[in-house]
Amino acid sequence: MRIALGVPTTPWVPERAASMARLKAQLDVPAWSDRIYHEFTDRAPNWVWSVELWQWLYDTGAEWCMQLQDDVVAAPCFWPALRAMLSSLPEDADIIGLSAVHPMATEWARRGHRWYKTDCLLVGWAYVIRREAMGIFLDQRADLTRRYGKACEDVLLGQFARETERGVWHPCPTIVDHDTSIPSSYQNDDHSTRRPQVTWRDYGEGSLTDPTWWKPGAKTATLPMPSQRLCWMCQAEDIRAQSSNGVGICGKCIGACLGSFMQGGR
């Protein structure tokens, strides 16, 4: 199993440079950085660097294409656990949202489930996509961009998952976390779905690295997108606009995001 990893990072931001160094240490990057690994460090809007990252991932020829952002925290057993997870999945599981932020995840884990699905809930700081699905997405990206505009890169992937009826698979628990002590580049600090509900910390390494432990049930449930009246980002203002995947946002946060995009932030 070959896994390509691309990491968009902003080395000009001290906090993120430090976080990037931590992530590389957790993933033991120096030991294999000459293989299938690349950091994307150019100052560019997300609709620019994401295309470069996706194309690079696809061009590596690796079976799985993974993105982790520089503020990710990885489990100590990340690589063997990831390989165990991916090897357990059925062939039609093409898109894996490692961020796993659905609010029902805690209850789902309590019931003993290892996976759940959503139709489009992909959060961009950690995901994995089969190479074949990545190729199809790249073929459709121009049309998705035409219809959804300069949307966040994870929104485009989520719409692709929904429109092709692939959905998004989410591990329960997940093997990554999100360091929210680092300020968001997109003014997302108060977003309601910035961290996963269930992580590796409450499970043994023996289970996490065992493919049979990760084996999905006969039918993995698709959980509904959570509905909200308040803005998904600030949780303070009423929704003023809502995307086709159900994410609602207020006017203030729309303005903050647009300002960040225009500055080419990540």
CA distance 228 to 73: 28
Count CB atoms within 10 A of the CB of residue 147. 12
pLDDT tens-digit readout, 78-102: 999 999 999 999 999 999 999 999 8
Read off the pTM.
Answer: 0.81
pLDDT band at 46 (very low <50, low <70, confident <90, very high): confident
CATH 3.40.50 fits 3-224, yes or no: no
pLDDT tens-digit readout, 180-237: 887 666 545 455 567 898 999 999 999 999 999 999 987 888 888 765 555 656 656 6
Count CB atoms within 10 A of the CB of residue 262. 9
Mean local confidence (pLDDT), 54-77:
96
30-34, 52-56, 67-71, 111-115: range with lowest mean pLDDT: 30-34
CA distance 34 to 116: 34
More confident residue, 140 or 48: 140
> Is 237 within 8 Å of 253 (Cβ atoms)?
yes
Report domain extents, the chain: 3-224
CA distance 178 to 174: 11
